[in-house]
A and B are shown apart, each in its own frame.
Chain A
Amino acid sequence: MAKTYQYCVAENWGKGFIDHVESQRITFASFPGNVWQVPAYNKHGNLWIAKVAGAVKTKDEAQAIVDAEVQAAQATWDALPAEEKTDNNPRPADITLEE
């Protein structure tokens, strides 16, 4: 099956990490563990990964990073006192990355 997305790990350094032109050209999404998702087979996605020196990950590798981060956040949430586990502070949900 053809991929829709590609993944990399890159640390957001702030200003200029994603600029307006890049943001207009492609859709970015970030996930726990500094995992970034951009369109696959896309020149602008490839150029952005190169610009930020992103460490390219397969979808499964990226999923493992995200899972580890989410599980840590869930453990932190589970340790909260009951009065802080409100509807307004939901338990971090599992995240499933798309191919």
Chain B
Amino acid sequence: MATYLGTHGSKIQNYTTDPDNPNTGEVWYNETANTLKFQYPTVTTSGSWRTGGTMNTARYGIWGAGTYTAGLGFGGNESPGLSGKTESYNGVSWTELNDLNDSRSGLSGAGVTNTAALAFGGDSPPTTTNTETWNGTNWTEVNNLNTARLDLGGFGSNTSALAGGGSLPSPTTADTELWNGTNWTEVNNLNTARNAVGCAGIVNTDGLFFGGYNNITDTESWNGTNWTEVANLNTGRSYFGGSGSNNTSALAFGGYVPPGNVANTELWNGTAWTETTDLSGTIRHQGSSLTNATNALSFSGLDPSNVTTATEEWTGAGASVGAWSTGGTMNTARSGSAGSSAGTQTAGLVISGYSTTVVTNVESYNGTNWTEITDVNTGRGSSGAGAGTTTSALFSGGDSGSPTTDTELWNGSNWTEVNNMNTSRRGLSGFGADNTAALAFGGNPNPSSVLTDTELWNGTNWTEVNNLNNGRSSMSGAGVSTVGIGFGGFNPGALTNTETWNGTNWTEVNDLNVARNDMGGCGTYTDALGFGGVGPPGRFANTEEWNGVSWAETSDLSTARDDMANVLGASVLGLCAGGSTGSATGATEEWSATSITTKTVSTD
């Protein structure tokens, strides 16, 4: 008889109570409850769209290929003028590459990466049969389609593609051709002639066409030989986005439903289309990554009357869910502290701050408990800037009765006064890898003004460098002295502004969703977390996650608060320490970007 041990190579462990920290996938038997249990990751139950990096050139009638982190957009109409421009997406930003040889709009294409793709058909004008292959650097003309057409559909790769439907320009056609890497061959036609369709597939033997001009809802499934009619879209549409790996997994989004655009998104499971989360904005004639229904791109297009550079990224159901849990409570409740920005959830410092008076206390966290260590020489409230780790940290600026330039250096044992900042200020922000490289920015020298000033610490001196674009105090940030992000703040009134630092300049990027100042922050300039803060109508528990391009709301803190120790920990395992809930608190919360759930195996 087969046994679990024989099949899986390990016995099921009996426990009287559930284990404290079971591994994902671990199975055990709870002999008190007489139940078999297992551990699995907690994931989202529905998908969502978020803002991606903007393209360099706005256009419509563009085609796309690749994936959500390795996408390609090519051709289109720049209104005015046909485009041969090619851009590559890396999950954060678009980069211009070499143009198509034949500029055109209403083209189609195929490709599973941004380094190998195919472009075919379109309107150059006239309607063309031209086919070009992309090797990651250049487009090369290869053998043409048999039938010239525009607004056709296509999917596959640069060695195994399908072209179908389209306009000649009139009438529409049902013609289907297959590409084998060298030539196009005519094969069985679509059941319904159509143009401006949605498409999904990564090889020419398994794919899906859906929708089309005149509000067509028809969906047809391709098996390598024939098209078969399957269940219809809920919303018939044309000139829309499609993405999916085969004829059982696809996504349809946006498009044209006269008299206007729609944002509707539908998910195909092989049997039926289901409405899911809409795009952030209505769009048509956009490009899309064709190859995946779980992670997809919608880029450029008409929104509805303007040609746009906007990109949206789709993350389907099944993404990890983050959550806050309570951590150890600090010995001294306080707000306006500094933090060791390069610390971790299991090794961080909270420095000075305001309890009922300004305190000099410094506490070190080990992931469970806070321990008092050597005090700073000069206590300061109102958010002095902190940087570094538990063994190499920096503490600068803040308010020690008045705004100060004082800087102290921590070597793991003692705080030492070192050279001061150039500009005294309170309510500043800062980050850095250790006590030899840090950045301090913003703040206010008095209650009626704010600063754009940024200073760079090299281990010995502070040097003034390029300013923030928007002066403010009480902002938050994450990063190191050469790359970072600053967000939120006050000038006067709570702000959503976000700027990234590249070691030389600050650049304005996409704003927070919720305006606030005195937030907490952690992570890096491409992967950060902002949480809490204050602004109308009061203190916030809101948490937002930055992916290098945009902010998205995620799980809230359990306790709304502001003025916590700034920048502490990584974005996947962050720490929110202290702050004010109306009075100073010592409560901490720990963020985990992934969480797990214990499930009981059902016997029903």
A residues with CB within 8 A of B: 12-25, 27-30, 32, 69-70, 73, 76, 83, 86-88, 90, 92-93, 95
B485 adjacent to chain A (CB < 8 Å):
no
> Can you spell out 16 A-B residue pairs with CB atoms less than 8 angstroms apart?
A14-B327, A14-B329, A15-B326, A15-B369, A16-B325, A18-B324, A18-B325, A19-B325, A23-B324, A23-B555, A24-B321, A30-B559, A87-B490, A87-B492, A88-B473, A92-B582
How far is B592's CA from A16's CA once the two chains are assembled, in angstroms? 14
Residues of A within 8 A of B447 (CB): 83, 86, 88
Query: Which secondary structure characterizes the binding site on chain B?
Result: loop
Q: Which of A21, A70, A93 has the most CB of B within 10 A?
A: A21
Which of the residues B490, B492, B537, B555 comes within 8 Å of A24, measured between beta carbons?
A: B555
Q: With a CB–CB cut-off of 8 A, which chain B residues contact A24?
A: 42, 321, 323, 555, 595, 597
* Residue from A13, A83, A88 within 8 A of B490 (CB atoms): A88
Task: Report if B558 contacts A (CB, 8 A).
Answer: yes
> A75: shortest Cβ distance to chain B, in Å?
12
A14 vs B323: C-alpha distance in the bound complex, in angstroms? Answer: 16
Given contacts A17-B326, A18-B326, A95-B538, 9 further A-B contacts (CB under 8 A): A20-B596, A21-B598, A24-B321, A24-B323, A24-B555, A29-B558, A32-B582, A87-B492, A88-B492
Q: Which of B538, B582, B588, B597 contacts A69 (CB 8 A)?
A: B582
Q: Chain A residues with Cβ under 8 A from B86's Cβ?
A: none
The 9 closest A-B pairs by CB, nearest first: A23-B323, A28-B558, A17-B326, A14-B329, A30-B559, A24-B323, A73-B582, A20-B595, A14-B328
Taking the closest CB of chain A, its distance from the CB of B33, in whole angstroms, is: 14
Decide yes or no: A20 and B325 within 8 Å by CB, A14-B588, A86-B447, A87-B490 being known contacts.
yes
Q: Which residue of A lies closest to B559 (CB)?
A: A30
Judged by DSSP, the binding face of A is loop
Nearest Cβ in chain B — how far from A93, in angstroms?
5
Q: Which residues of B contact A25 (CB under 8 A)?
A: 597
Tell me, rounded to whole Å, the shortest Cβ–Cβ distance linking B497 to chain A.
16
* Cα distance, A35 to B588, chains bound together (Å): 17
B558 engages A30 (CB within 8 Å):
yes
Among residues of A, the one whose C-beta sits closest to the C-beta of B594 is A20
Chain B residues closer than 8 Å to A92, beta-carbon distance:
582
B558 touches A14 (CB 8 A): no
For the complex, what is the distance from the CA of A79 to the CA of B518, rounded to whole Å? 23
Q: State in angstroms the CA–CA spacing of A67 and B474 once bound together.
A: 28
Check if B597 sits within 8 Å of A29, measured CB to CB: no
Complex contact A18–B558 (CB within 8 A): yes
Q: Which residues of B contact A83 (CB under 8 A)?
A: 447
B581 at interface by CB-CB < 8 Å:
yes
Given A13-B329, A69-B582, A88-B473: A29 and B595 interface contact (C-beta under 8 Å):
no
On chain A, the residues within 8 Å of B592 by CB distance are: 20
Which one of A15, A86, A92 has the highest number of Cβ atoms from chain B below 10 Å of its Cβ?
A15
- Given the complex of chains A and B, what is the CA–CA distance between A20 and B22 in angstroms? 13
Is B493 positioned at the interface, with any CB of A under 8 Å from its CB?
Answer: yes
B314 CB to nearest A CB, Å: 23
**Contact of B597 with A21 in the complex, beta carbons under 8 Å:** yes
CB nearest neighbor in A for B555: A23
Interface check B275, CB cutoff 8 A? no
Q: At the interface, yes or no: B70 with Cβ under 8 Å from chain A?
A: no
> For A30, what are the chain B residues with a Cβ–Cβ distance below 8 Å?
558-560, 581
Q: Is B99 an interface residue (CB 8 A)?
A: no
Query: Per-residue 0/1 for B386-428: is the Cβ within 8 Å of any A Cβ (1 yes, 0 no)?
Result: 0000000000000000000000000000000000000000010
Q: Are B324 and A15 in contact (CB under 8 A)?
A: no
CA distance A34 to B517 in the complex (A): 24
Q: Is B368 an interface residue (CB 8 A)?
A: yes
B596 CB contact (under 8 Å) in A17, A21, A76, A93:
A21
- Interchain CB contact under 8 A, B326 and A16: yes
> Is B223 among interface residues, defined by CB-CB distance under 8 A?
no
B325 / chain A contacts, CB cutoff of 8 Å: 16, 18-20, 22-23
How many angstroms from the CA of A70 to the CA of B582 in the assembled complex? 8
Q: In the complex, what residues of B have CB within 8 A of residue A93's CB?
A: 537-538
